[in-house]
Amino acid sequence: MKTSRREFIKVGTAAVLGAGAVTTVGVKDAEAAAKREFSPEAVGMFYDSTKCIGCQACVISCYEINFVNRQSYINNVLAPEDQNFIVREDLIPKLAPEDQFNPDRPWLNVETNDYRFRNIIQKYVDPEDNVHFIKHQCMHCNHPECVSVCPVTALTKDPVDGVVEYNASYCIGCRYCQLACPFLIPKYEWKRAVPKIVKCDMCKSTLGANDIAGTGCTNVCPTGAVIYGKRTDLMKDAKNRIANNPGKYFADKVYGEYDNGGTDVIYLSAVDFKYLGFDERIQDFSYAEVSENLHHTIYTLGLAPIGLFLTLAVAGYINGKRNAHDTFEGVEFEDEYVPDTKTATKSKEVKNKEVKAKAEKDKGGE
């Protein structure tokens, strides 16, 4: 059977893509079947937006525990960039313009988490002028993307308590974690001479959250809007609040139960979570699970290098035989080159004239 090179390339490409598609489907099935389970000892936080009054006591407490009173920040006098944050004027929280009329209850003027804070409170005003608050900090995902992409294991997830921890001594400042996190949590200390990543670790590095009754933020909340405990207990509490208050919570949804594969920090809200800063594109699975399974499967089966070398081999073979008829493993190629008939005719006439002229010259020489 004869076929052109173009057809052969199309068939080969389709075969490679088909194998890739089959592999992808298989990976998706495997990912769904082997979803990572939560540790029964996993700890977390539960934030009920309807109970928050926006006092920001949690923000200040976290700030004091993790920055102001932390030994590594207080006693470091090697360079101005490494001094305690509280003495740096450019790092002191500022009042937002709309809240400057009430200096006794200042509102931190930050649009999102930054390197000054491990958690913040933001507010949303609905069309009926009702104010809703939201607390943002590391979600401590069950299968965190930040851990998955870190090339030096500076970010790790404790397999027992589930806390996503950060080891600054390992960090190389690549900031892959910033790009990978769907919640935009890890922040970089841009104004320090030796910058590090800043994120919540549930006060494990400062208070040792597993040995106390709570974290810095949960211990000071005056209304119990945010509480600390085992994830299983917190989830039961959230479900009970929904059951006991029909219509109070948006879509009877516990945010973090399944979102991004599940998180150790969960939420209840009276309004759609998209208005509180959560990306609507986040799915009920972790992108880390999908990417890891896909990459591991491709390289375990050798599909990526095999496909690459096969493509290069075919391309090299075809280019080397461009103007010749040949066969490749029983497949005969047809030369697709179609010469210009006018040019060919003209060349033939010129050649005939040259032959005739040579013949006449040879005859005259005799």
The pLDDT tens digits for 166-219 are 998 999 999 999 999 999 999 988 877 778 899 999 988 887 755 567 899 999
Q: What is the CATH number of domain 38-284?
A: 3.30.70.20
Lowest mean pLDDT among 65-79, 215-229, 250-264: 65-79
> pLDDT confidence of 5, banded at 50, 70, 90?
low
What does the pLDDT read at residue 279?
Answer: 93
What confidence tens digit (pLDDT) does each residue in 22-71 have?
A: 444 444 444 443 578 999 999 999 999 999 998 888 988 888 787 765 54
pLDDT tens readout for residues 68-105: 655 443 344 334 444 433 334 344 445 455 555 455 55
Better pLDDT: 258 or 99: 258
E strands present in the chain: 2-4, 43-48, 120-125, 131-136, 155-157, 164-166, 187-188, 197-198, 226-230, 265-268, 327-328, 331-334
pLDDT bracket for residue 268 (50, 70, 90): very high
CA-nearest of 280, 269, 253 to 132 is 269
Q: What CA–CA distance (Å, rounded) separates 69 from 204?
A: 15
Helix, strand, or coil here: 366?
coil
Q: Can you say whether residue 288 is alpha, beta or left, with left for phi > 0 and alpha for psi between -120 and 50 degrees?
A: alpha
Question: Average pLDDT, stretch 295-321?
Answer: 70
**pLDDT value for 15:** 47
Domain spans of the chain? 1-35+287-366, 38-284
Q: What is the pLDDT of residue 56?
A: 86
The answer to whether 43 and 210 have CB atoms below 8 angstroms apart is yes
At 181 the pLDDT is: 95
Angle at 215 between CA 59 and CA 60, to 5 degrees: 15
Residue 3 pLDDT greater than 70, yes or no: no
Quickly state the pLDDT bin for 111 (edges 50, 70, 90).
Answer: low
Kindly state the tokens that stand for 124.
Answer: 């949303």
pLDDT for the residue numbered 96 = 52
